[in-house]
C-alpha cells in the first residue's frame, strides 16, 4: 500500500511479529497470547513513556507468556505469541477500534501515539496486526481442511488495581458463544479455592475484541479468553500453579 511507504516508522519493525511454538501439534487447542511482549523499537523511545510505565501492564500482559508457554508444554498444544507491545497496536482489538492504537491507556498518556498520521497507523496494521491474524487464520484453516477439531484460547492477565480500585477476582473466563466450553472451565476452576467468574473483569465485545469473536465465534469454534490477575503470576512457582489448574480443563 502506497500510504505505508510514507510512514515515519518505515523499516522499524525488523523483529519477527510472532513466535509459533509446536506448529505441528495434533492437539485441538490453539493457544494465543496477543499481549505477550512489551517490546517497542528503540527508535520510538518507549512512545514517550518513562521506563516504569513502559514495563507496566499497559504495555503487555505480565506473566501471560510464561503461563501460555507452560500450558503449551503441558498440553502439547500450538502457541502463537506476539513479539511487540500492545501499545503499538493491540492484536486483540479490531483494526478500527478506538483503542487499537491507544493515545491513553488507563491513567497513562501515550505521547508517541498521539496525532499519528494515517500512513503510520496503516503501516502498523500491515506490519504487525495483519501478519499475526493471517497466521492464526491459516493455522485454523489447515486443521479444519483436515477435518480436525479446533479450539482457540487466548491467555491474558489483568492488573490487580484498575483506576485506583482493587480487584478481588483471581481468574476470569471470557466468552461469547462458547457458553458450554466456558462453563466447563468455570466449573473446573471452581473446584479449587479460587475467586473465579465468567465474563469478568471484562466481557467479550465484537466491537472491542478480536480473537474470540473473529477466530472463534464467527467460525463456530469453541473459543474463550482466560484472564489471570497478574500479581498471581510473578514467580515461576506461581505460573506453574496456574498451569496445573488450567491444563486439565482446556
Beta strand pairing status for 165-166 and 161-162?
A: antiparallel
Q: Is the dihedral of CA 85, 40, 121, 113 positive or negative?
A: positive
- Burial group, residue 219, by CB count within 10 angstroms (0-12, 13-18, 19+): middle
pLDDT of residue 232: 98
Are 102 and 44 contacting, i.e. CB atoms less than 8 angstroms apart? no
Which residues fall within 8 angstroms of residue 138, CB to CB, at 6 or more apart? Answer: none
Q: Indicate the SS3 state at residue 19.
A: strand
User: In the chain, which stretches have pLDDT less than 70?
Assistant: 1-5
Nearest CA to 91 among 150, 155, 142? Answer: 155
Do 43 and 164 form a contact (C-beta atoms < 8 A)? Answer: no
- Do 168 and 195 contact (CB within 8 A), yes or no? yes
| Domain covering 2-246, topology | Aminopeptidase (3.40.630)
What is the model's pLDDT at position 4? 58
Contacts of 71 (CB under 8 A, 6+ apart): 31, 77, 79, 155, 243, 246, 247, 250
Candidates 32, 65, 75; CA nearest to 230 is: 65
pLDDT for position 7: 79
SS3 string, 50-91, reads: CHHHHCCCCCCCCCHHHHHHHHHHHHCCEEEEECCCCCCCCC
Dump pLDDT digits (tens) for 188-207. 999 999 999 999 999 999 99
pTM of the model: 0.95
Exposed, middle or buried by CB within 10 Å (0-12, 13-18, 19+), for 149?
exposed
- Work out the mean pLDDT of the chain and round it to a whole number: 95
Q: Quick one: pLDDT at residue 1? A: 41
Residue 2 confidence (pLDDT): 43
Give residue limits of the domains in the chain. Answer: 2-246
Amino acid at each position: 500500500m502506497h500510504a505505508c511507504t510514507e510512514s515515519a516508522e518505515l523499516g522499524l519493525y525488523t523483529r519477527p511479529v510472532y513466535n509459533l511454538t509446536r506448529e505441528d501439534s495434533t492437539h485441538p487447542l490453539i493457544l494465543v497470547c496477543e499481549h505477550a511482549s512489551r517490546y517497542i523499537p528503540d527508535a520510538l523511545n518507549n512512545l514517550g513513556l518513562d521506563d516504569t510505565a513502559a514495563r507496566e501492564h499497559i504495555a503487555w500482559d505480565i506473566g501471560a507468556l510464561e503461563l501460555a508457554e507452560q500450558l503449551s508444554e503441558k498440553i502439547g498444544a500450538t502457541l502463537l505469541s506476539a513479539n511487540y507491545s500492545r501499545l503499538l497496536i493491540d492484536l486483540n482489538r479490531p483494526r478500527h477500534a478506538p483503542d487499537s492504537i491507544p493515545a491513553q491507556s488507563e491513567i497513562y498518556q501515550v505521547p508517541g501515539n498521539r496525532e499519528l498520521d494515517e500512513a503510520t497507523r496503516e503501516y502498523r496494521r500491515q506490519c504487525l496486526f495483519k501478519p499475526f491474524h493471517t497466521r492464526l487464520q491459516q493455522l485454523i484453516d489447515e486443521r479444519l481442511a483436515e477435518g480436525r477439531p479446533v479450539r482457540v484460547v487466548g491467555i491474558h492477565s489483568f492488573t490487580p488495581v484498575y483506576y485506583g480500585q482493587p480487584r478481588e477476582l483471581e481468574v476470569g473466563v471470557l466468552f461469547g458463544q462458547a457458553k458450554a466450553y466456558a462453563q466447563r472451565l468455570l466449573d473446573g476452576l471452581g473446584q479449587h479455592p479460587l475467586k473465579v467468574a465468567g465474563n469478568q473483569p471484562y466481557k467479550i465485545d465484537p466491537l472491542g475484541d478480536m480473537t474470540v469473536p473473529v477466530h472463534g465465534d464467527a467460525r463456530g469454534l469453541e473459543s474463550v479468553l482466560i484472564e489471570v490477575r497478574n500479581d498471581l503470576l510473578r514467580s515461576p512457582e506461581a505460573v506453574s500453579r496456574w498451569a496445573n489448574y488450567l491444563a486439565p480443563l482446556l
